[in-house]
């Protein structure tokens, strides 16, 4: 059994879609963890490690945790590690998007990237995996799938936002999917699954 250290059901669905049906993946609620995981580090790598260590040390279960940030070139990489709390501690996606679009008003360079860092901790290994998808930010929200900044992010080479894609389409190109593919490849190669 491996725990994905999140209570975000959207993330769990994305991961389960990438794994074989018989892979024993559980979320935090299934191991009895109902508290918010600590995220006090200044980097995605640090937050990912901090969350995984918290679960591993307190619940004694192999786990992986992710941290994802939207990094906008013209905003010096912001919101970055603060993406979920960009508009405040309430973690409201609509408010985060509104603040992002306000901060980009009148700026021609809309280049951005989503970056995910996953930390795996087992009794014998601690390892990190990274996934990046390049794209740009648009001015209007499009699509109803996905979550977070998905309705305003169009990946390079596409003409629709992540929120307009099906889960299967998104799992072919998304930052989290790319990091997870590296994780799953490692788990298979090391005979963990």
Buried b vs exposed e over 142-157: b needs ≥16 C-beta within 10 Å?
A: eeebbebbbbbbbbee
- How many CA atoms does the CB half-sphere of 103 hold within 13 Å? 17
Cis amide linkage into residue 169, ω under 30° from 0: no
Cβ atoms of 155 and 133 within 8 Å: the answer is yes
* DSSP E strands, 9-83: 25-26, 63-72, 79-80
138 half-sphere exposure, CB direction, 13 A CA radius: 17
Helix (H, G, I), strand (E, B), or coil: what is residue 160? coil
Give the residue numbers annotated as catalytic, written as ranges.
Answer: 67
Could you give the C-alpha distances from 147 to 40, 42, 108, 116, 192, in angstroms and in order? 22, 23, 25, 15, 30
């Amino acid at each position: 059994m491996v725990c994905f250290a999140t209570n975000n059901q959207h993330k769990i669905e994305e991961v389960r879609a990438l794994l074989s049906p018989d892979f024993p993946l559980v979320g935090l609620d299934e191991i009895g963890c109902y508290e918010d995981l600590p995220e006090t580090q200044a980097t995605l790598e640090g937050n990912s490690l901090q969350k995984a260590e918290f679960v591993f040390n307190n619940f004694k279960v192999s786990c992986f945790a992710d941290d994802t940030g939207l990094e906008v070139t013209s905003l010096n990489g912001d919101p970055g590690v603060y993406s979920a709390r960009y508009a405040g501690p309430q973690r409201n996606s609509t408010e985060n998007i509104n603040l992002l679009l306000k901060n980009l008003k009148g700026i021609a360079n809309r280049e951005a990237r989503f970056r995910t860092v996953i930390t795996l901790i087992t009794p014998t290994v601690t390892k990190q995996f990274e996934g990046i998808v390049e794209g740009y930010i648009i001015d209007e929200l499009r699509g109803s799938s996905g979550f977070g900044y998905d309705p305003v992010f169009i990946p390079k080479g596409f003409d629709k936002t992540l929120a307009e894609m099906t889960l299967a389409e998104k799992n072919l190109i998304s930052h989290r999917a790319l990091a997870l593919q590296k994780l799953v490849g490692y788990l298979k190669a090391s005979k963990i699954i």
